[in-house]
Amino acid sequence: MLDLSNKRIVVTGGAGFLGRQVIEQLVQAGAQREKISVPRSRDQDLRNLQTCQNVSQQQDIIIHLAAHVGGIGLNREKPAELFYDNLMMGTQLIHAAYEAGVEKFVCVGTICAYPKFTPVPFQEDDLWNGYPEETNAPYGIAKKALLVQLQAYRQQYGFNGIYLLPVNLYGPEDNFNPESSHVIPALIRKVHEAQQKGEKTLPVWGDGSPTREFLYSTDAARGIVMATQSYDDPDPVNLGTNEEISIKHLVELICELMNFDGEIIWETDKPNGQPRRCLDTQRAKERFGFTAQTQLKQGLKNTIDWYRANAD
């Protein structure tokens, strides 16, 4: 197991929703808070090679969480930006880390990398068996290219880079911006605002039939740190719960937890996204002992409580 106590660690995206949790888990695992650095996008643009080189100097571990990411709306509106930004950030940072002699690179990929019609539960070995769901493809492929790069750099240079595939994340401090949020924060905000306005209907995109799997942010962060300490193989690894829920049931559960009794209106002219998502989580359990601990209902309750306390 990698001893983190004296390691200099960079966490890109470390000021974000998942990043803050990862930093807490690193500290719990023995890392020194003052040796963890977080490049901020407003000061350091990781799409620039020189910035990546500066960030990588004299570092032992880089955990790359930074991403330009959003829900279906953003995927449809800005596919070119999502492709370019994520590819450039990742590929230049990996190269700079290798050149700077970084000991370990932890790349956090995306579930959007999987083919549209992957057999459920998704197994890591199926990652290349088809094209991703169209709305996700530019983002998913940009992130998936980083797996190829890490495997190539391992093969040619002996560079220790690992690649993790977390399922949809949620939790307190998530992004609740309606322009770019994912499904759980978007729904919580929507229900909250309907209650504030006294509305009796709730419009929701799609028909409710797709299924999704959701991983609580604290669990995801713990999995990332466990892999940082104990996983050194080239194979990608899923991080998830191995439990799926339909969007219909998810909406009903959030309405129940928030005491909203209005009518749900399914906007069937809007896209559903990928038909099903659920991960096979066996590899993470076998290779570094990770299993999720937070039940969806409890995680949703925590997220709703946080949002209500911070809605302003």
Average pLDDT value for residue range 219-228: 98
Q: Which residues contact 298 (CB under 8 A, 6 or more apart)?
A: none
Q: pTM here?
A: 0.93
User: Hey, CA dihedral for 284, 288, 289, 292, is it positive or negative?
Assistant: negative
55 assigned binding-site residue: no
Measured CA to CA, the distance from residue 238 to residue 125 in angstroms comes to 11
Residue 73 in this model has a pLDDT that exceeds 80: no
Measured CA to CA, the distance from residue 219 to residue 127 in angstroms comes to 23
- pLDDT score at 207: 95
Measured CA to CA, the distance from residue 79 to residue 77 in angstroms comes to 6
- Predicted confidence band of residue 135 (pLDDT cuts 50, 70, 90): confident
Picking from 109, 238, 244, 220, the residue whose alpha carbon sits closest to that of residue 172 is 220
- Predicted confidence band of residue 61 (pLDDT cuts 50, 70, 90): very high
- pLDDT score at 192: 97
Q: Burial, 24: exposed, middle or buried (Cβ in 10 Å; 0-12, 13-18, 19+)?
A: middle
Average pLDDT value for residue range 18-37: 98
- Residue pLDDT, tens place only, 233-287: 999 999 999 999 999 999 999 999 999 999 999 999 988 877 888 999 999 999 9
- pLDDT score at 180: 75
Q: Please, what is the average pLDDT of the chain?
A: 95
- pLDDT score at 185: 95
User: Edge-to-edge strand order for the sheet containing 9-12?
Assistant: 36-37, 9-12, 61-64, 104-108, 161-166, 237-239
Q: What is the DSSP letter of 212?
A: E
Residue 71 in this model has a pLDDT that exceeds 80: no
Q: Which residues contact 47 (CB under 8 A, 6 or more apart)?
A: 84, 85, 88, 89, 92
245-246 and 211-212 beta bridge pairing: antiparallel
Catalytic residue among 114, 139, 163, 170: 139
Both structure tokens of 261: 């009794």
74 assigned binding-site residue: no
- Predicted confidence band of residue 7 (pLDDT cuts 50, 70, 90): very high
Residue 28 in this model has a pLDDT that exceeds 80: yes
16 assigned binding-site residue: yes
- pLDDT score at 29: 98
Contact 90, 36 (CB under 8 A): no
């992130």: which residue's tokens? 143
116 assigned binding-site residue: no
DSSP code string of 117-162: TPPSSB-GGGTTSSPBPTTTHHHHHHHHHHHHHHHHHHHHH---EE
- pLDDT score at 274: 76
- Predicted confidence band of residue 311 (pLDDT cuts 50, 70, 90): confident
Give the distance from CA 146 to its chain's centroid. 15
User: Hey, CA dihedral for 90, 213, 276, 16, is it positive or negative?
Assistant: negative
The continuous run of DSSP H or E covering 205 comes out as strand 201-205
């800005």: which residue's tokens? 78
- Predicted confidence band of residue 70 (pLDDT cuts 50, 70, 90): confident
Tell me the domains of the chain and their CATH numbers.
Answer: 9-171+214-243+276-293 (3.40.50.720)
- Predicted confidence band of residue 184 (pLDDT cuts 50, 70, 90): very high
Active site annotation includes 157: no
